[in-house]
Structure 1
Amino acid sequence: MKLTVVGGGSTYTPELIDGFARLRDTLPIEELVLVDPAADRLDLVGGLARRIFAKQGHPGRITTTSDLDAGVEGADAVLLQLRVGGQAAREQDETWPLECGCVGQETTGAGGLAKALRTVPVVLDIAERVRRTNPDAWIIDFTNPVGIVTRALLQAGHKTVGLCNVAIGFQRKFAKLLGVAPGRVHLDHVGLNHLSWELGVRLGGPDGENVLPKLLAEHGDAVADDLRLPRQVLDRLGVVPSYYLRYYYAHDEVVRELGTKPSRAAEVAEMERKLLKMYGDPALDEKPELLAERGGAFYSEAAVDLAASLLGNGGSPVQVVNTYNNGTLPFLADDAVIEVQARVDANGPVPLAVPELDPLYAGLIAHVTAYEDLALEAALRGGRDRVFRALLAHPLVGQYAYADGLTDRLIAHNREHLAWA
């Protein structure tokens, strides 16, 4: 089995490598190729990756290359984890929206739109090159904004599934609070990427006992603290929102906070400098503890599980993925991309049935899906008016003066990445 990671020079990659090494019985990789145009980073990450495999006794071979076509040739699955523009572009995404009084975040709001505009054309080019060299390969997208990028890939006819670590993070946290093995916890996870709710927490499987009321009653303070939302919000909702919902439920509060501290991008950039220095130490043969602060917790385990299922190697029968709606949420078009529990096998994901949603959730899902429709159109076709329409449609923007100002700033900060600008 051959897997290729595009964006393999990311400081995330040792997390992925650690999962591949630990879970080699689930996903028996014979060859792993790390592809990245940044040769210096790739050398450091590749060296550590080989040492991790060696320490854990993994027999697979790890190679590195900046040649995308060579790297994906013959791959059974290609994992996308790239960041167009790097942390410098992320820094901009998180700062210029604040000038208009809107949240600055790399996947949500105006910053998320900027990332989509930079990313979609690049990912589509990569996918076309994968299809030319190996049309049967699965493409697993971990590149944000996952919902928009996955939809672009699916609409272009690629064998694609989108992946996020939010659900598996909740699963692990809830399992710890409940004192049970993670595999026993099944989430009624519904929504879009970075706009989702846990409507139930079931023990033993999709039809198991819903222990969410007990979880909130006994551990509501801990869950609320983790989400940085008041406990009473969880009690009134009776569900657990993704931490990204704080940008919607407490937008003005978040904007004030962001204006008083360094950006997350600045923190991550400094962390990456330290991590890359660590990766260069020939004595290091495991992922460093600092990597846990970088983000992407349990990403490797989710990626291994999904790849194993798609490649017919087992894996959990039900996983949270991003895929076509196909009637799952009746108020959305079939070709909308949603993030829900799905049965996954070598034929791809099939979403599980979802009960009728409270309008409180369905309305916001529909609203953000409309924005994503317009965002994808802007990413594919370009043009100031399309960018403006997408921003005006976003619930975190919504006013024409804000949308106008944000459009100008978005284009000004991203000209080098926008072929039409």
Structure 2
Amino acid sequence: MDRKTALKNADFVVTQFRVGGLQARAMDERFHLKYGVLGQETTGPGGFAKALRTIPVILEICKDIEELCPEAWLINFTNPSGIITETVLKHTKTKCIGLCNVPIHMTMNIAKILEVEPKDIFIDFVGLNHLLWGKKVWYKEKDVTPKIIEAFLDGESLTMKNIADLKWDGEFLRALNMVPCPYHRYYYMTDTLVKEEKLLVDSGKGTRAEQVQEVERVLFKKYSDPSLDVKPKELEKRGGAYYSEAAVSLISAIYNNKREVHVVNTRNNGTIVQLPEDSVIEVNCLIDSRGATPLSYKERLPIEISGLIQQVKSYEVLAVEAAVKGDINKALMALVANPLVPSVGTAKSLLKDLLEINKDYLPQFMEKQW
């Protein structure tokens, strides 16, 4: 079935795609290492490359949605989810909510630490996609955040399959007094993770994408066996846990007007006063037939995290503008704004390499070199 046939009269559209496949992801995870710069598939220069490749495609999909199912809700999983969702909400008429498995992953694991049911805890989430903090963890109206922090320091972990399980610094975590998401390691442990990534590449183990390619090779071979009747253990080596549960729950909440609380990517609309009204944030929202409504309003970010959030949001806004317009100057400024890029000179070198590597996917930039 082609895309237009699939979209006709749809009520919900779910997007989860990777332009260039795992081969492109592998390039995203390698090209910046020679500059001593960290960049995962959704953060840093690697995430920027993925965003530039993905945005033109999501805009084409939204054109089809506007024509064939204009009342449909787009539930976007495609990474970087916050940037892609912001693109859709700023540059199309499509109704869109961005979804990530990090919040549900954190909730499930914190519930395990507390030995309680996930439905019995509430985490006051605030931030951006892959830059999300749990300001407070509540269990039966009791603040148990300090207990979770101490559990981290005693060896408990919220990390994911695609992120190195590095131990948090105790003094830092107690001073922060919030629960960081696994992706914060890229910002708070940058030098250590650069060394880790270089070591993996130099040792021949390869980047995460290259490891996943091998896992998928084994999986597809097993799936070709018609007698297979158990879940292959290799699936445990892949990320993406809880994605299906989060998606089905969100769609059900919209369709059935459930007025449930979900953590999603949606338009700010005054929720966080330090960020632009039209920027996309990741927060607890009430979900009903109208979509997502953030639970808080005119909230001020804690000073401990506001600077990093504002800097990353500046990068995201510039990244969207660069991709939509094919603007090489905006692309440069996006990399300069990214906290994982140390200097203007490095940003220029990264951008030159990125555009050359991705020239088949980014024709809008090819005639605009300096």
TM-score by length of 1: 0.80
Q: Which residue of 2 aligns with 1:375?
A: 319
2:175 is the counterpart of 1:236: yes
**Structure 1 residues 149 and 225: alpha-carbon distance in aligned structure 2, compared to 1, 3 A threshold:** closer
CA distance in 2, matches of 1:74, 1:287: 34
CA distance in 2, matches of 1:323, 1:292: 30
SS of equivalent to 1:281: coil
2:119 is the counterpart of 1:180: no
SS of equivalent to 2:127: strand
Percent identity of equivalent pairs: 43
Matching residue's letter, 2:277: D
CA distance in 1, matches of 2:249, 2:222: 28
| Displacement after TM superposition at 1:278 (Å) | 2.1
| Displacement after TM superposition at 1:130 (Å) | 1.9
What do the CA deviations read for 1:101-140 (whole angstroms, capped 9, x no partner)?
1103111011111000000110110121122111111100
What do the CA deviations read for 1:191-215 (whole angstroms, capped 9, x no partner)?
00011111111125xxx32211122
Match of 2:72 among 137, 151, 154: 137
| Displacement after TM superposition at 1:177 (Å) | 1.0
| Displacement after TM superposition at 1:234 (Å) | 1.8
Q: Which residue of 2 aligns with 1:298?
A: 242
| Displacement after TM superposition at 1:390 (Å) | 0.8
Matching residue's letter, 2:208: R
2:199 is the counterpart of 1:260: yes
Q: Which residue of 1 aligns with 2:24?
A: 89
CA distance in 2, matches of 1:286, 1:80: 28
Q: Which residue of 2 aligns with 1:103?
A: 38
SS of equivalent to 1:326: coil
Q: Which residue of 2 aligns with 1:273?
A: 217
Q: Which residue of 1 aligns with 2:350?
A: 406
What do the CA deviations read for 1:174-199 (whole angstroms, capped 9, x no partner)?
11111111111211111000111111
Equivalent positions of 1:300-319 (< 5 A) are 300-312=244-256, 314=258, 317-319=260-262
Matching residue's letter, 1:228: L
Q: Is the 8 A contact 1:162 1:323 kept in 2?
A: yes
Q: Which residue of 1 aligns with 2:143?
A: 210
What do the CA deviations read for 1:195-244 (whole angstroms, capped 9, x no partner)?
1111111125xxx3221112223453234584523241322211111111
Query: Which sections of structure 1, spanning at least 5 residues, go unmatched?
Result: 1-64
**Structure 1 residues 363 and 344: alpha-carbon distance in aligned structure 2, compared to 1, 3 A threshold:** same
Match of 2:49 among 108, 114, 124: 114
Q: Which residue of 1 aligns with 2:300?
A: 356
Equivalent positions of 1:315-354 (< 5 A) are 317-353=260-296
CA distance in 2, matches of 1:288, 1:209: 40
Q: Is the 8 A contact 1:229 1:246 kept in 2?
A: no
2:111 is the counterpart of 1:164: no
What do the CA deviations read for 1:74-99 (whole angstroms, capped 9, x no partner)?
32211100000000000000000111
CA distance in 2, matches of 1:330, 1:286: 50
2:129 is the counterpart of 1:190: no
Q: Is the 8 A contact 1:194 1:244 kept in 2?
A: yes
CA distance in 2, matches of 1:238, 1:407: 37
**Structure 1 residues 389 and 329: alpha-carbon distance in aligned structure 2, compared to 1, 3 A threshold:** same
Q: Which residue of 1 aligns with 2:188?
A: 249
Once superposed, what is the RMSD of the aligned Cα atoms?
1.6
SS of equivalent to 1:87: helix
CA distance in 2, matches of 1:191, 1:152: 18
2:360 is the counterpart of 1:416: yes
Equivalent positions of 1:117-128 (< 5 A) are 117-128=52-63
Q: Which residue of 1 aligns with 2:155?
A: 222
Q: Which residue of 2 aligns with 1:75?
A: 10
Query: Which sections of structure 2, spanning at least 5 residues, go unmatched?
Result: 160-164, 201-205
CA distance in 2, matches of 1:247, 1:339: 18
2:60 is the counterpart of 1:146: no
Matching residue's letter, 1:257: E
| Displacement after TM superposition at 1:337 (Å) | 0.3
Q: Is the 8 A contact 1:328 1:351 kept in 2?
A: yes
| Displacement after TM superposition at 1:313 (Å) | 5.8
Q: Which residue of 2 aligns with 1:393?
A: 337
TM-score by length of 2: 0.91
CA distance in 2, matches of 1:133, 1:230: 49
SS of equivalent to 1:230: coil
CA distance in 2, matches of 1:218, 1:366: 29
Q: Is the 8 A contact 1:391 1:398 kept in 2?
A: no
| Displacement after TM superposition at 1:300 (Å) | 1.0
